[in-house]
Structures are given as C-alpha cells and as structure tokens.
A and B are shown apart, each in its own frame.
Chain A
Amino acid sequence: MKEPVVLIQDGIKRYGTKLALDGVNLRLERGMRCGLLGPNGAGKSTLIRTLTGILRLDEGQVSVLGESPEAARRRVGYLPEERGVPRRAKVGEWLAFLGKLRGLTTQEAQKRALQWLEKVDLPGVERSRCRELSKGMQQKVQLAAALQHEPDLLVLDEPFSGLDPVGVQILEGLIREASNRGATILLSTHLLPQAEALCDHVLLLRRGQTLASGPLLQVLAQGHPKIELRSETAPPNAVGIGDGRWIIEAQDGTIDAAFREAAQWPGVREIRRTGRQLRDFFLEDADA
C-alpha cells in the first residue's frame, strides 16, 4: 500500500461542548484530487485547519506527508476560505514573504513570486500595493501564494468564490497541473458540478460525521439507480425536483421494469436513466 499523504484516523475535535469533527477518517494518496463536501457547519473548515496545523485534534490521529501537520507546513499549500491580503503590503513582497516562510530562499522566493504572478495572469503587479487590486485580482494573488512553493499537498477552501469565469478556468488548469506533477489536492467547495468535474475522490461530511468517503465513482455507485423524466403530472413513486422534472428511484434489479413503466406514463416528454449525483447526498440529508 502506498504511503498516505493525508491520514486522519477517528479524528475528534470539540469547540467547548460542540462536536465539530466526530470520528472522521480520511486517507489520501499522492496525486489524488479529493472533494471535501458538506453543508455549512459540517466541519469542513475545521478538518482543513487540522490538516494545516492551525488546530489540533482533541482525539484521534492525523498525519500529513508522514509527519505531524505542524512539521509538514512547508510542504503544504493552503488557500483559506476567510482569506485576505495585507492592504499596505506590496504584492511581490507579500508573496516573497510567504515563500520564505514556506522554506524558499530569498532569491528563489522573489523569483517564484514573479513567475506565479505571470501564471495567474497578473503580470507586472508586483510593485502594486494589495489595496490597489480588485477583489478578483487579490484572489489570484492568494492563489499564487498557495501554489508558488509547489506543495506536495494543496488544500483549497472554497477556491472558486469571487473568481470570474476566466479566473475559474485558470484555477481549474492550475489544479490539474499541480495534480499532474503529483501533488495531492483537497478541495472544499459548494459548487458540486466543479467538484464532480475536478475530483476523483470525495469526503462528504454532515455535522462533523462522515456521510460518504472514497473514490467518486464508488461513492456515486453507493446509491440506487434513478430515472429522471419530464412530465406535466407526477408518475407513481416520483419525487419532484422542479421545472416539471421528476425522479424515480429504483432498486438495482427493477430498473428496467421501472423505466418501461415510467416511459408509458401519459404526457412524458423526456426520460433518461441516471446515477447518483453528489447533490443527492445534500438533498437526502435535507430530507432527513
């Protein structure tokens, strides 16, 4: 078995009496792209802060790149959800400062800062003060800060928020590039289509507990096959998902019969078989 890049075993974290992580397990290997999903208050940020050494678990084990999270800090790139830039600092100096804290030499940090500003489509802003940049440009600076030391583990908390479509495209490219060179990606996002498109693994949390975990396809296969159709009236056993669309959940062995029955329902204009989607976990959780 490969050496895990991230390993959390029975992780428990409390804030006073509130349980933020309740026996969470996670194992990520080199090159994996894992989506960290869950509704607000699920424990995503707590888990991320644990992996980046900002918080410590109350119980359980955590290791990052074979070390404690504190010891592995320099090999981790982190883009927090609540991120900001020092308003007075010059962009180049801020990036070089973070690069040095991540273990780069002064010259290398300055060089990388310029390179990464080019990469995130911000050439020539190194002498600008951060307050002079737009919000989207500041986001890109922060992205460069997380990536510039070419970390082995990249932790991104809601990285797409605040980015325009071009920025989203750049970010997706950078995530794939990091993954291709062998970096492990942990990506927390509310944008489920983006998670499904970018990630090969997922960890779904709900109120600090693991809802589902593993390879994306395997997690999606855990659910029953479904039939999605458009019709003016509801077929038997169908659940409305809006806009005249309905979902019928079938047992594995009965999908063919259910499909034939649904197709014969009067007024059906469109019908297709579908698997489980990530949004189903959230909907099921909300129903529960």
Chain B
Amino acid sequence: MRDLRTIAWREFRETALTPAFLISLIAMPLVLVVVAVLSSGMALTHTEPPISGTIWIQSSDEYRNAFAERLKRGVDAASVGDLPLVTVNFEGQVAAGARTEPPNASNPVLAIIPDSLLDPEDLKGEIVLTLHDALGRPQVDAIETALIDTVVALRQRRAEVDPTRIDRLRTPPTILSTRLDDRGLTAEDSQSRKLRALVIPMGLMFLLWGASFGTSAQLMQTTLDEKANKVVEVLLSTTSPERLMMGKILGQSGVALTTVGIYGALGIAALVASENLSLILDPQLLWPLAWFALAFLGAAAILAAVGAVVHDQREAGNLMGPIVALLGVPIFFILPIAQAPHGMPASVASFAPVIGPYIMAMRSAGEIPVPFWQLGAGLVWHAAITRTLLLGAGRVFRVGILSSGTPPKLTTLLRWLIRP
C-alpha cells in the first residue's frame, strides 16, 4: 500500500499543487463572476439612443394622436437578450401622410395602419412598416411595440371596454404547489422545484463530467510525459505497472475531488447567498458522488492506457478523437434527461458502459428518486464494468508503457488484453 500512497501523492502534488492548476482553478470561477458583474453593471447603465427624426404615420388622426401619446411615455424594448428591459425614448415628431420616398436618417419610419385594423368588429388588415436601416434592434422593437399597443388601445376604446380591467383579468395566477412523499413530509414551492429538478442535476453533471474528463486527460498526459522522458523504467523497477497505474489514478482522483470540492463549495456558497441551501440538504444527493467515482475510474483507466501506448502528443491526439466522442455522449443527454429523468432513453443510457455513471449521476441528483432496483443493478453492473476496465487498462499499460516504435494496432491491443 505504501508504494500506491507514495505514487498517488506525487501524482497529486505534481498536478494539483502547481501554480498553473491553482490559477486555472481559481481563474475560471473568477472570470465567470467578473463577467457576470460586468454584464449586470453594463445592463444597469445601458441606454439606447433615442429615435429622432420624423415618424410618418398614414392613418386616422385618432390613431396618430394616440400613437404620439404612447410615444411620450417611452416604450420598453423587449428584444435585447438577457439584459433587463430598456426604455427607448423618442425625440422626433409624428407627421401625417404618405411618403413615396424611401426612409432616410431624417425620416426613419413610415407606417401605414388601415382603419379596418382598429375596428373591434372587423380586425382585418396589417400594419405596413418601412424602416431606415440605421435603426437598431431595440429601436425597431420599441416602434413595433408602440404601434401594436396603440392599435389594441384604440380597439378597446372603440369597444368601450376598460383596458386596465382587461389587463387585470389576464394576469396569470401563481401556483403554490405542495408535494408530499409517502410520509407526507416534503413540501416544495414551484420555483425551487424547478431549480431542484433542472439546475442542480445539470450543474452537477457538468461539474462531475468536467472534473473526471479533465483529470483523466491530465493522467494521460503525465503517463505520456513519463514514458517520453524515459522515467518510466526507473519507476517500474520499484513497483509493478499495475500499481504504478493505480497510484497515478488515485493521485488524479484526488485532483478531481479537489476540483469538485472547490467548485462545489462555491456552488453551496451561492445557494447560501440566495437562501436556497435547503435545495441540496437531501441525502439523495450523495448518490452522484458514488456514480462520480465509477465514472472517473472508467475514464481514467481508458486514458491511462492511451497514455501508455502512445509516444507523443500527435499519436495521443489521434487516439483521443473517438474517446472524446464517447465520453462526450452524456452531454447530449442532459436536456432529454432533464425533461424525462426516468423515461426509456434515460433508463437505457444509464446502463451503457463508460457513459452510464454520468447519466445515473444526473438522474440521481434529480427531484424524483431513481427506482431502487435501477440504483442497485446499476451499481453492480457499473462496478463490474469499471473493474474490467481497470484490469484491461492494467494489461495494456503493462505492455504499452515499455513499447516503442509505432502505436499498437487494435488487434495488438486485443492480444495484450487477452494474453498479457
């Protein structure tokens, strides 16, 4: 055991206790926070330039006057992405009549509103709008909103109904839902339920996938470095190839756990700050850790074997293509699983070798518990697969780490697997 511990500690120290790792670990969330702060600051101070020039309206005087009134209040532009609504002001004038010339900077808007569109009994026709290209998207959006608002307001006035009453009647009700378990104990409101059902599983999935894949790739790199530097023969004279590989995997698992721990702590801090900590006070959320262990060990075994059989970065890159494609599959399952965590695709994918533990991790973190039989059978199945992967990787590692020349063909790898 002592050699495993010594190798694992060296692997951990050489990877995790380096300025590069610590900087990247801290830099990533720091960049995210800075971007979030900057973008929210930009949103708060964001102003759209006012629309100036003459807006030509070909319609009734009633509509034109109502439209001018509407413009005075300023119009919210709703189409500026995730930023808060921006109010667009008008510094121009509204003129009546048709224009045959195309819009220009001084006369940027020409709108034709047929009277039939304002008739509450008719509602036929459409607004024909011609705009100058210099107007930005928020300005266009604001003009469209003001034109539509005015049409709707005039229809209501002509139909002699109270617009504020109608708005009130159209206000959607809020849902205060209560979910109870078999013992009638659990209750969650709809907002937190959504967070629990979607955001936490997706966040966990990304975190676990990123940590396991990232550190496994690191494991491949250190193995390749030791082989290329001719260090490996010295190491193999002190311990067996299998123990060397396991020591390295254990060391990198420490790196992965450190990554998960730091990002997890940041996530918990965010939940505490938003008073949502109760969302993760759920014993069910311990399951993803078990799946994470299996997922990491599987990926690490594969990439350690890759590091052992290749001789340089180019060869590693060639082999990494299909492996990245395989390990990337869980990412495509995120949305389907979020929508139907216990549907047939999710259940079947949960038992797929290598990627299954990632799927299980996400499902286990969801709102509704995974059926117990699936958890039990999945654990046994994936533990067996992981063990097989580790044994196979150990056999490939044993021969591959001392190999030279061209990388082995698939048939050679199979021979190593069958007869080490």
Contacts and interface: CB of A to CB of B under 8 A. Distances in A.
Chain A partners chain B: yes
B14 A101 contact: no
A84 to B, nearest CB: 3
A240 B225 CA distance: 49
Contacts of B10: 97
A83 B370 CA distance: 52
B231 A78 contact: no
Interface string A135-150: 0000000100100000
Contacts of A80: 230, 233-234, 237
B231 A85 contact: yes
Interface string A112-123: 000000000000
A30 interface: no
A229 to B, nearest CB: 46
Nearest to A73: B238
Contacts of B402: 49, 54-55
Contact of B236 (A54, A87, A102, A145): A54
Interface centre among B7, B226, B233 (most CB of A within 10 A): B233
Interface in A120-170: 142, 145
Given A54-B402, A86-B226, A88-B14, A101 B238 contact: yes
A70 interface: yes
Nearest to B420: A56
A78 B236 CA distance: 10
Given A83-B233, A84-B231, A101-B7, A89 B14 contact: yes
A73 B237 contact: yes
B230 A82 contact: yes
B93 interface: no
A223 interface: no
A53 interface: yes
A212 interface: no
B104 interface: no
Nearest to B402: A54
Nearest to B229: A84
A127 to B, nearest CB: 15
Nearest to B18: A88
Nearest to B227: A84
Contacts of B6: 97, 100-101
Contact size range, A: 20 to 34
Nearest to A155: B237
Contacts of A55: 402
Nearest to B13: A93
A199 B114 CA distance: 111
A98 interface: yes
A209 interface: no
Interface in A250-275: none
B233 A54 contact: yes
Given A86-B226, A97-B10, A101-B7, A53 B237 contact: yes
A196 B230 CA distance: 29
A52 interface: yes
B192 interface: no
B234 A83 contact: yes
A103 to B, nearest CB: 8
B239 A78 contact: no
B229 A52 contact: no
B229 A87 contact: yes
Nearest to B244: A101
Contact of B234 (A74, A98, A100): A98
B231 A73 contact: no
A21 interface: no
B231 A54 contact: no
A129 B380 CA distance: 46
A7 interface: no
B388 interface: no
Interface of A: 49, 52-55, 70, 73-74, 76, 78, 80, 82-89, 97-98, 100-103, 142, 145
Q: Report the 3 A-B pairs with minimum CB-CB distance, sorted nearest first.
A: A84-B230, A101-B238, A78-B237
Given A70-B240, A84-B234, 14 more contacts: A54-B233, A54-B402, A73-B238, A78-B237, A80-B234, A80-B237, A82-B233, A83-B230, A86-B225, A86-B231, A89-B14, A100-B2, A100-B6, A102-B238
